[in-house]
Structure formats: structure tokens, C-alpha cells
């Protein structure tokens, strides 16, 4: 319980308190809010943030919905390949995508700009990824998967009979699609919009990489600037973070209501037949269109990252002698202590955070699901609370709470570990809750009637049954923690560099070969861990024989 308080309650309380504190005298004051929301140069970022979030939400929904429909309900060629490609966009961190797009579409050096220049003999760059527009483009690319997976899940559960009912009443194919199919998918579409909106407004990476060089700011980059100035204005930053917190809390509440009320109505076509719609001669044109988003979000960026990371000097060309090779990989893994340490730190901190998160989450979930203590629902609420706190805001809370006695964590690895564990606690908690609910309480009670105490029953019966679920929860925390940027940037010190902060620094310094190498390494590490874990679990399954 104390751990839970340290992780969640103390930082949030300090965040609130700090926002009302005078930096010098520690007295309560509204000055921070006044200085945060009266200067026009501080209001522009807020406007930018909302513009960006709306644009991203609209694009994500506008592209994700038809994609979902094409993959789930039509006979478009290549639809089986499209799904994993789109989901590959899901696992790619958007700050990595942002860097890849710098290689592709920076005004002077961007590869796409160069290709066009060479092909069409134009003398000015066609694309410029820097600025608000480029940032919207990149974030939207990586938000499409939300809408796509929500909508396709809904469409796949929806029976064709619902559409047939309209068709038998004389409605044409496209009319049916627009008046029956899409409205039924509306809650999913809205959920996709809300999540994309939130993602865009909370993200720190892409705006930092793409907008700061263009001297444009959004709320998250402005928060960062409060800290990079000297002296850091932590109190003003805390006040400035409040609208961000307010937006996320409100939107997630709205989304919960939307999903909660409509979900069961929509997904009532259980057992119905689902037929695919024949696209006829539009099959191939649609297929080509549908492959554009994953091409832009996955294929092209990874190609760019690979090409840049494999060259000793990007710009000399792939064919220049001695330029192509694994120079930077050797450098990152063996020669450079900073990157080597960062990789080790990332692994250590993420593993520690995942362990901490899963232990706390499982205990809380156990208390809540088995109703062992009176205040259990409150505990569950606290465990879910970080879900509404953007990473950057959480980081400010941690800074406010733990860069002073009694618990001086700033500068140690523990502040990063605690921040990761807290940020992803809701994932671990909801995972733990759902697996615990799946375990019949009779299994524990049976052990107790046979003479085992509560602890022994938990140790011998509940825990072994939870093992697979706990491992998957551990992975669900480990993977996002490995690529966490927005809180890390505030909490790291040169001694506690992690992969993401190293990438951030290299990008700042223009060392793009190192950026892409570290990015590729980060993705490789993630995949190796996931595959190894599934192997382990698979063997466990085979040995124990499956049990539903």
C-alpha cells in the first residue's frame, strides 16, 4: 500500500501542490498559473497542441476506418498481409518514425527529396517534415492502428444479416455501408478518434524532433523548455501541465461512457454469417491505396533507418567505398560506453519496473477481485489512475515529489524505474484483474478446506495458475518501458542514460547514423524479448497441457 502511494498518490499530490507554490518562499500562490497562461508565447503552444490533436484524430479516423472496412469486409487482395503491416506500425514508437522521416523528408538531405530532385530536375525541396504539418503527418501515421483495430474488431463481430436486412429492403450496397455498417461501427470510430487525439496531445517525441527545429512549440515541448532553461521553472511547468491533465481525464471519461453504453448493442451478431463484399474491378485500385499508409509508416521508415545506420557517413552514398558496413553497430555495442551503458540501463530499468509493476498490480488485483479488504475498490482506482496522466505530466510529478528529502530519488535509477512502473501500472493491473477473475475462487477454497491457510493456497494454487498471465503482464510493461521517452527525458541524468534519451541527445546533436542504429537496436531487442518469451510460454503450455 505504501508502495502504491509512493508510486501514484505522492507524485500527483506534489504536482498539484507545486503548481500553487511560490518558487522562492514555498508559499501558496496563483502566480504560477498567472505566468503560465497570460503570456501569448505560452498560449500559442496550447493552440498548436489542440490543432495538432484534432488534425491527427481526423486523419487517423479518415484513413483507419476505410482500411478496417477493406480488410475486414471486402475481398480486397493482400488484406491478410495488410493487417500485420498495420500492426507493425503499432509497435513502432512514433519518435523513431519521426527520426526516420527526418532522413526521408528533411528539406535538404531527405532521401525522398533527393530522389524527386534527381528524377524531375526540380531545384527546391518538395517536402519539409519540420513544423506542425510534418508533425501531424507523422503522428497520424502511427495513430491509424488504433482506429483500425477498434473498427475492424467491431466489423468482424457484426453479422452480415444486419446488412442483408437493409439490402432486402431495397438499399444498395454503398447505401447499406453508409447507413447501416458505418453507424454500427460509430462507437469504435469515436474511440479511435479519442485515443488518437490523446496520443497526439500527450506525445513528446515527434514534436520535439520535428517542431523544435522549426521554432514551433506544443504544450509538451514547452513543458520541456521550462526545464531546459536555467533555473528550471518546475512550479510554472506544474501549472502549465494542468490543462493537459484536464483534457486527458475528460476525454477518457467521455470515451468510457461511449464504449460502455454502446458496445453490447453493436456486437450482438453472435453466430451470424459474415460475408465479404466483392469489390469487382475496384479490387486492385483499392489494394494499392490501402498499402500506402503502412508503406509510409513501416516500410519506408525502416528502410531509411537501416540505410542510414549501415553507412559510416550518411550522405557519402551507399556505394562509396568503405562506407557501407556495421561500423555504427560495433560502435554502439562495443566501443562507446555511453550507448553500451544506455542499452544495459534500458534493459535493467525496464525489467525492474516491469517486476515492480506486476507485483504491485497483482497484489492489488487480488485484494480487489477477492474483496479481501474494505477499501479495495479505492485501491483499484488508484492503480488505474496513472492511465489518465500523460507521461510528461507524471514525470513533473515525480520530479516535484522526489527531488527533495525525505525520498531523494532524482539522479538515481530508482526514479526512472518508479516512473516506468507507475506509468504502466494500469496495464499490469487490468491484466492482473482479468486473469484473476478467470480463476474460479473454488480452486482456492478447495485448498483451504483441505487444510491449507490463505497464504499457502495463494502460493501453491493461485500463483501457479497465474504464472502465464503474470509473464504476459510483465511483458506488457517491459516493452513500453523499453521505449519510454517522454518521462525519461525529464528524469534521466548522464549517469542514468537509457536508449531513448540517448537517441534524443544524438538527434539533438545531429548524429543521425547513431540515432538510426540505436533505433534499430531498440526494435531488435524488443523483438528478441517477445519471441523468447513466447517460446518460453509455449513450452510451458506443452508441458502442462492446455487448460481453458
* Nearer CB in complex with another protein: 175/454: 454
Q: Strands, DSSP E only, in 268-395?
A: none
* Helix, strand, coil percent content, the chain, rounded in steps of 5: 75, 0, 20
Minimum Å gap between C-beta 177 and another protein is 44
Minimum Å gap between C-beta 531 and another protein is 25
Minimum Å gap between C-beta 432 and another protein is 18
Phi then psi for residue 145, to 5 deg, are -55, -30
* Nearer CB in complex with another protein: 256/448: 448
* Nearer CB in complex with another protein: 250/437: 437
Contact 461, 379 (CB under 8 A): no
* Nearer CB in complex with another protein: 234/466: 466
Residue 262 CB contacts under 8 Å (≥ 6 apart), including other chains: 186, 187
Task: List residues binding another protein (CB under 8 A).
Answer: 440, 442-443, 445-454, 456, 460-461, 464-465, 544-548
Distance (Å, whole) CA 72 – CA 157: 10
Minimum Å gap between C-beta 363 and another protein is 21
Residue 330 CB contacts under 8 Å (≥ 6 apart), including other chains: none
* Nearer CB in complex with another protein: 397/473: 473
Minimum Å gap between C-beta 434 and another protein is 17
202, three cell numbers: 500527450
Minimum Å gap between C-beta 372 and another protein is 13
* Nearer CB in complex with another protein: 419/466: 466
3-state secondary structure 247-280: HHHHHHHHHHHHHHHHHHHHCCCCCCCCCCECCH
In 3D space, the residue among 270, 277, 269, 327 whose CA is nearest the CA of residue 517 turns out to be: 327
Minimum Å gap between C-beta 539 and another protein is 15
* Nearer CB in complex with another protein: 43/443: 443
**H or E segment to which residue 305 belongs:** helix 300-309
In 3D space, the residue among 379, 375, 384, 381 whose CA is nearest the CA of residue 364 turns out to be: 379
Residue 280 CB contacts under 8 Å (≥ 6 apart), including other chains: none
424 backbone φψ class: left, alpha, beta (φ>0; ψ -120 to 50): alpha
* Nearer CB in complex with another protein: 34/544: 544
* Nearer CB in complex with another protein: 47/463: 463
Place of cell 501515421: 141
* Nearer CB in complex with another protein: 24/548: 548
Minimum Å gap between C-beta 534 and another protein is 19
DSSP 421-490: HHHTHHHHHHHHHHHHHHS-HHHHHHHHHTT--HHHHIIIIIHHHHHHHHHHHHHHHHHHHHT--TTHHH
CA distances from 358 to 346, 404, 487 (A): 18, 27, 20
Minimum Å gap between C-beta 453 and another protein is 5
Minimum Å gap between C-beta 447 and another protein is 7
Amino acid at each position: 500500500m505504501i508502495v502504491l502511494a509512493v508510486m501514484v498518490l505522492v507524485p500527483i499530490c506534489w504536482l498539484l501542490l507545486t503548481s500553487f507554490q511560490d518558487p522562492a518562499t514555498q508559499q501558496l500562490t496563483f502566480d504560477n498559473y498567472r505566468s503560465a497562461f497570460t503570456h501569448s508565447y505560452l498560449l500559442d503552444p496550447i493552440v498548436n497542441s489542440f490543432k495538432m490533436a484534432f488534425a491527427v484524430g481526423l486523419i487517423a479516423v479518415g484513413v483507419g476506418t476505410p482500411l478496417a472496412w477493406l480488410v475486414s469486409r471486402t475481398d480486397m487482395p493482400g488484406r491478410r498481409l495488410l493487417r500485420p503491416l498495420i500492426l507493425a506500425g503499432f509497435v513502432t514508437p512514433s519518435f523513431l518514425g519521426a527520426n526516420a522521416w527526418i532522413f526521408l523528408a528533411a528539406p535538404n538531405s531527405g532521401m525522398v527529396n533527393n530522389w524527386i530532385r534527381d528524377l524531375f530536375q526540380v531545384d527546391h525541396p518538395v517536402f519539409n517534415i519540420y513544423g506542425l504539418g510534418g508533425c501531424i503527418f507523422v503522428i497520424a501515421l502511427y495513430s491509424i492502428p488504433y482506429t483500425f483495430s477498434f473498427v475492424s474488431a467491431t466489423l468482424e463481430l457484426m453479422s452480415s444479416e444486419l446488412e442483408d436486412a437493409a439490402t432486402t429492403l431495397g438499399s444498395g450496397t454503398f447505401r447499406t455501408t453508409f447507413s447501416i455498417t458505418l453507424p454500427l461501427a460509430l462507437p469504435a470510430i469515436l474511440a479511435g478518434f479519442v485515443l488518437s487525439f490523446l496520443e497526439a496531445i500527450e506525445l513528446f517525441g515527434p514534436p520535439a524532433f520535428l517542431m523544435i527545429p522549426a521554432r514551433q512549440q506544443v504544450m509538451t515541448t514547452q513543458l520541456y523548455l521550462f526545464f531546459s532553461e536555467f533555473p528550471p521553472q518546475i512550479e510554472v511547468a506544474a501549472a502549465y501541465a494542468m490543462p493537459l491533465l484536464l483534457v486527458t481525464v475528460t476525454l477518457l471519461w467521455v470515451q468510457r461512457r461511449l464504449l460502455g453504453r454502446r458496445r453490447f448493442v453493436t456486437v450482438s451478431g453472435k453466430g451470424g454469417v459474415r460475408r465479404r463484399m466483392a469489390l469487382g474491378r475496384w479490387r486492385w485500385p483499392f489494394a494499392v491505396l490501402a498499402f500506402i499508409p503502412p508503406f509510409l509508416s513501416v516500410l519506408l521508415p525502416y528502410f531509411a533507418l537501416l540505410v542510414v545506420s549501415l553507412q559510416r557517413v550518411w550522405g557519402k552514398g551507399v556505394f562509396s567505398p568503405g562506407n557501407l558496413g556495421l561500423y555504427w553497430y560495433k560502435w554502439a555495442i562495443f566501443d562507446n560506453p555511453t550507448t553500451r551503458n544506455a542499452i544495459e540501463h534500458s534493459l535493467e530499468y525496464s525489467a525492474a519496473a516491469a517486476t515492480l509493476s506486476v507485483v504491485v498490480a497483482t497484489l492489488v488485483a487480488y485484494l480487489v477481485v477477492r474483496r479481501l479488504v474494505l477499501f479495495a475498490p479505492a485501491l483499484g482506482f488508484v492503480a488505474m489512475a496513472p492511465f489518465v496522466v500523460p507521461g510528461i505530466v507524471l514525470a513533473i510529478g515525480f520530479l516535484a515529489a522526489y527531488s527533495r528529502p525525505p525520498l531523494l530519488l532524482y539522479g538515481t535509477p530508482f526514479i526512472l524505474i518508479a516512473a516506468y512502473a507507475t506509468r504502466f501500472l494500469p496495464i499490469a493491473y487490468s491484466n492482473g484483474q482479468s486473469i484473476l477473475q478467470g480463476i474460479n475462487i473454488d480452486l482456492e477454497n478447495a485448498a483451504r478446506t483441505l487444510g491449507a491457510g490463505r497464504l499457502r493456497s495463494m502460493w501453491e494454487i493461485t500463483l501457479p495458475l497465474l504464472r502465464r498471465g503474470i509473464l504476459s503482464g510483465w511483458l506488457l510493461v517491459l516493452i513500453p518501458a523499453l521505449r519510454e521517452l517522454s518521462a525519461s527525458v525529464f528524469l534521466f541524468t548522464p549517469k542514468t542514460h537509457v536508449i531513448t534519451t540517448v537517441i534524443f541527445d544524438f538527434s539533438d546533436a545531429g548524429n543521425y547514423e547513431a540515432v538510426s542504429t540505436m533505433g534499430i537496436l531498440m526494435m531488435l531487442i524488443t523483438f528478441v524479448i517477445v519471441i523468447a518469451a513466447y517460446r518460453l510460454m509455449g513450452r510451458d503450455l506443452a508441458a502442462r497441457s492446455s487448460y481453458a
